[in-house]
Structure 1
Amino acid sequence: MDRGRDVQSPPAQGGAAFLADAMLARLARWLRTLGCDTLLEPQRPDRELVAIAACEDRVLLTRDRHLVAFLRPAKVFIPASDVPLEQLAEVVAHCALPAPTELFTRCLVCNAPLRAATAEEAAAHVPPTVQGSPDPVRRCPGCGRVYWQGSHTRRMREALWRALPEWAP
């Protein structure tokens, strides 16, 4: 079984949904940054992960070769790298994911699609220096986290462009 290759299925096209195991939690967050629907179920046993991936037509992302060999998930990808941003580049290339039109549209914690924050939510949760900014403020309907464009998102964008230079503006 080759690492870094889809073991049993053809590459998923853009819009693929993913399920990452506990070993790939950081990869899951980077995929969410790109707007990819990426579940992370670190407490679930391997059999349940495979069942969820099959039931929801998700690509299982794992580095657990034993899981792949014995449970044979229908759609699986084993990143070769240990480095999360290199893993992200592998997934993007393998699944032929298109460059997103916008980043930070999913909650990095719970995976829910973000919605625009109300003016009251923004005023209550973002620093005063951000409140007059034209950049969007978003809120997660799942866990309630609030997201805005700040130095953290600038650093994340820079890291993404280094990992995926073909997507850099």
Structure 2
Amino acid sequence: MQGQKFIADAMLGKLSRWLRILGYDTLYSKDFEDWQIIKIAKNDSRIILTMDRGLCYRAKKNDLECFYVNTELNIEEILAMLAIKYKIDLTADPNYSRCTKCNGILKKVDENRWKCTRCKKEYWKGMHWKSIQNIIIKAKSISEKYEFRTTSNNQ
């Protein structure tokens, strides 16, 4: 189970699913209004993820951590930036992943199958697992290059 907890606005469903794959508790609903996101973030000590500059501004006025997602970035770049800023672990391990549908905890059923303890959706390591790993490898590469550049510039 990962330490940081997130809440994403209505425009970041894909990012929410990726963070859940990585094992991060990430709340997401298309129905969340800005005031609800701020209230939940404050009550649960969650980092707000948003593409809405206004929401990010209001969050920061409330002393809440907010990550503004640039619309020009792809998912690998966004994950890399989150890894750098919040030290998220870019490792996909289904034993620690969360349900991409409801954010529930997954329970291992057998060697290659997991089931959500909340919504009962089943997951398995199929052909899609290679695609997941490839995106994570790209995100790691981007974060390592960026960290190398910033470390080199500071010396």
**1:32-71 deviation per Cα after TM superposition (whole angstroms, max 9, x unaligned):** 1111111102201100110001100000000100112245
For 1:56-87, what per-residue CA distance to the aligned partner results, in whole angstroms no more than 9, with x for missing partners? 00000001001122453411111234422221
Cα RMSD (Å): 2.3
Of residues 141, 147, 161, the one that matches 2:117 is 141
| Aligned counterpart in structure 2 of residue 162 of structure 1, from 115, 122, 138 | 138
- The alignment-based identity, stated in percent, is 30
In structure 2, the gaps of 5 or more residues are 144-155
- Cross-structure match for 1:48: 36
Moved more, 98-107 or 30-39: 98-107
- Separation in 1, partners of 2:88, 2:48: 16
> In the superposition, relative to structure 1, how do residues 159 and 101 fare at CA in structure 2: closer, same or farther (>3 Å)?
closer
- Do the aligned partners of 1:61 and 1:79 also contact (CA within 8 Å) in 2? yes
Q: Which residue of 2 aligns with 1:9?
A: none
User: Max radius of gyration: which structure?
Assistant: 1
Deviates more, 1:148-157 or 1:74-83: 74-83
Which one of 50, 57, 71 corresponds to residue 45 of structure 2? 57
Which residue of the other structure, out of 14, 38, 42, is the alignment partner of 1:26?
14
* 1:110 match: 102
Find the aligned partners of 1:42 and 1:157 in 2 and give their Cα distance: 27
1:76 counterpart residue number: 66
CA–CA separation in structure 2 for the residues paired with 1:70 and 1:30: 25
TM-score, structure 1 length as denominator? 0.73
Higher strand proportion: 2
Unaligned runs of 5+ in 1: 1-13, 120-134
Question: TM-score, normalized by length of structure 2?
Answer: 0.79
What is the SS of the residue equivalent to 2:11?
helix
